[in-house]
């Protein structure tokens, strides 16, 4: 019996991990530390919630179908922000609003790939990208990262075949957290342009990059939209994860193709979420800067406190945005270790095996810690529990 594409695709990792805590009692003096998912747990700021309530009460179109490619004002607003941040020259016609950034990736792949095509993914990869390619009949070609958890351009070039349609990067990276240097991203752009394929860059965590200013110059390249496809998310920036508002930035011609996909999947993005994103663009610049500063403080806490784990044989492999990517010292696969951490330490995190091909050995020693929802005290508690492990 032939398996369907969904049947042959692995289960959603975050949902699988949540099942590990079912029926487990966590004592008051050792509550669960959940570092499994990179999503804000707090609601949007009150002013934004009020703006959403006002939209629901006063904007009749908030309850109706809207344009498939998104609200005109939001498309223009994001274009303006991109132009300021990247010294770019996009227009609203380069912007499609999507139901989350995952849908933006799915739409991009729909415009690029046929059955049996290939997309190169640096490993460890973002598992939802791998899942969508599997369900689209597109082969994910793994590109193991090298020093500093960074992918190598020459190694990527060696993987390109006549079926390769794109290289997909995530920066700041999920799961490793690392921020890809400007020159590295530009080198990948030049490779993709020379070989006639697309370069997809998922910048979901752009607003938490530790670097000030533009993280790359791709938008400034001549004919950028013939090669470069930019993905963005409002979800983390404004705490709108439940409202699913993302963006796909590309050529108008590609967006015309994406419109066909988006119309059949969701018809249009949620209207209230779009009103929220627009209000955020117009009013929350200083608030977002404060959120970024807080994430950078927590990142420093991860670094400053790590010696307590290093003394026990742990290694900090990557750090940035919402993530710390660690190598553990235990003589067991992370696929076995991660469920044990729930029972032994009250910690829920994802094993590295969820970010690598099944036959890859690297992920067995790795764990992803999504630390953004832990304050300094929470990070110190995490370290205390991890350093006390004797497995």
169 and 304 belong to one structural domain: no
Q: How confident is the model at residue 382 (pLDDT cuts 50, 70, 90)?
A: very high
Model confidence pLDDT, tens digit, residues 247-294: 999 999 999 999 999 999 999 999 999 999 999 999 999 999 999 999
Share of the chain above pLDDT 70, in %: 100
For residues 301-314, give the mean pLDDT.
Answer: 96
Please state whether beta strands 228-233 and 198-202 pair in parallel, antiparallel, or not at all (unpaired): parallel
For residues 371-385, give the mean pLDDT.
Answer: 94
Q: How far apart are CA 364 and CA 249, in angstroms?
A: 36
Question: Minimal CA–CA distance to 249: which of 111, 92, 112, 95?
Answer: 95
Model confidence pLDDT, tens digit, residues 336-376: 999 999 999 999 999 999 999 999 999 999 999 999 889 99
What local confidence, expressed as pLDDT, does residue 104 receive?
A: 98
163 and 246 belong to one structural domain: yes
Q: How far apart are CA 252 and CA 248, in angstroms?
A: 11
Place of tokens 């994406």: 258
For residues 169-194, give the mean pLDDT.
Answer: 98
User: What is the span of the domain harbouring residue 78?
Assistant: 46-283
146 and 25 belong to one structural domain: no
How many beta carbons lie within 10 A of that of residue 91, not counting itself? 13
Domain closes at, from 242, 266, 283? 283
For residues 171-188, give the mean pLDDT.
Answer: 97
3-state secondary structure the chain: CCCCCCCCCCCCHHHHHHHHHCCCCCCCCCCCEECCCCCCCCCCCHHHHHHHHHHHHHCHHHHCCCCCCCCHHHHHHHHHHHHHHHCCCCCHHHEEEECCHHHHHHHHHHHHCCCCCEEEEEECCCHHHHHHHHHCCCEEEEEECCHHHCCCHHHHHHHCCCCEEEEEEECCCCCCCCCCCHHHHHHHHHHHHHHCCEEEEECCCHHHCCCCCCCCCHHHCCCHHHCEEEEEECHHHHCCHHHCCEEEECCHHHHHHHHHHHHHHCCCCCHHHHHHHHHHHHHCHHHHHHHHHHHHHHHHHHHHHCHHHHCCCCEEEEEECCEEEEECCCCCCHHHHHHHHHHHHCEECEEHHHHCCCCCCHHHHEEEEECCCCCHHHHHHHHHHHHCCCC
Model confidence pLDDT, tens digit, residues 19-57: 999 989 999 989 999 999 888 888 999 999 999 999 999
| Global pTM value | 0.95
* Dihedral sign computed on CA atoms, order 339, 340, 345, 346: positive
137 and 81 belong to one structural domain: yes
- Domain membership flag for residue 332: yes
Q: How far apart are CA 275 and CA 271, in angstroms?
A: 6
For residues 180-201, give the mean pLDDT.
Answer: 98
For the chain, what is the mean pLDDT?
95
- For residue 140, the domain's CATH number is 3.40.640.10
Quick check: 245 and 100 in contact, CB under 8 A? yes
- For residue 353, the domain's CATH number is 3.90.1150.10
Q: How far apart are CA 51 and CA 363, in angstroms?
A: 44
Show the tokens assigned to 241.
């994860």
86 and 160 belong to one structural domain: yes
- Domain membership flag for residue 231: yes
Domain closes at, from 267, 283, 299? 283
Domain closes at, from 266, 283, 300? 283
- Domain membership flag for residue 126: yes
What local confidence, expressed as pLDDT, does residue 390 receive?
A: 87
Q: How far apart are CA 294 and CA 221, in angstroms?
A: 33
What local confidence, expressed as pLDDT, does residue 1 receive?
A: 58
Model confidence pLDDT, tens digit, residues 67-100: 999 999 999 999 999 999 999 999 999 999 999 9
104 and 161 belong to one structural domain: yes
Q: How wide is the angle at C-alpha 198 spanned by C-alphas 354 and 71, nearest 5°? A: 85
């Amino acid at each position: 019996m032939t398996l369907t594409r969904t049947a042959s695709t692995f289960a959603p990792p975050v949902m699988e991990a949540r099942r590990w805590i079912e029926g487990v009692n966590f004592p008051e003096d050792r509550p669960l530390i959940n570092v499994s998912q990179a999503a804000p747990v707090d609601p949007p700021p009150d002013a934004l919630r009020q703006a959403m309530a006002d939209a629901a009460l006063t904007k009749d179109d908030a309850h109706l179908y809207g344009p498939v490619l998104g609200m005109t004002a939001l498309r223009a607003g994001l274009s303006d922000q991109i132009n300021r941040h990247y010294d770019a020259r996009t227009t609203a016609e380069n912007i499609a609003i999507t139901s989350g950034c995952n849908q933006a990736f799915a739409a991009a792949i729909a415009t690029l790939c046929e059955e049996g095509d290939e997309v190169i993914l640096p490993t460890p990869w973002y598992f939802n990208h791998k899942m969508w390619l599997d369900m689209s009949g597109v082969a994910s070609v793994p590109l193991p990262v090298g020093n500093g958890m960074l992918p190598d351009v020459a190694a990527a070039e060696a993987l390109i075949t006549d079926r390769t349609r794109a290289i997909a990067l995530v920066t700041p990276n999920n799961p490793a957290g690392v921020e890809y240097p400007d020159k590295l991203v530009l080198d990948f752009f030049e490779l993709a342009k020379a070989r006639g394929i697309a370069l997809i860059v998922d910048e979901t965590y752009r607003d938490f990059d530790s670097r000030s200013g533009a993280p790359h110059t791709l938008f400034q390249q001549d004919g950028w939209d013939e090669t470069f496809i930019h993905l963005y998310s409002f979800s983390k920036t404004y705490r709108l994860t439940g409202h699913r508002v993302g963006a796909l930035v590309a050529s108008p011609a590609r967006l015309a193709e994406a419109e066909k996909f988006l119309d059949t999947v969701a018809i249009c993005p949620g209207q209230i979420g779009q009103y929220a994103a627009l209000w955020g663009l117009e009013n929350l610049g200083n608030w977002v800067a404060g959120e970024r500063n807080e994430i950078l403080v927590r990142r420093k806490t991860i670094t400053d406190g790590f010696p307590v784990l290093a003394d026990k044989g742990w290694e900090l492999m990557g750090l940035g945005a919402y993530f710390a990517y660690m190598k553990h010292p235990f003589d067991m696969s992370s696929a076995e270790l991660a469920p044990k951490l729930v029972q032994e330490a009250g910690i829920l995190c994802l094993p590295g095996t969820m970010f690598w091909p099944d036959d890859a050995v690297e992920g067995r020693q790795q764990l992803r810690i999504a630390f953004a929802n832990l304050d300094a005290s929470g990070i110190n508690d995490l370290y205390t529990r991890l350093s006390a492990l004797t497995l």
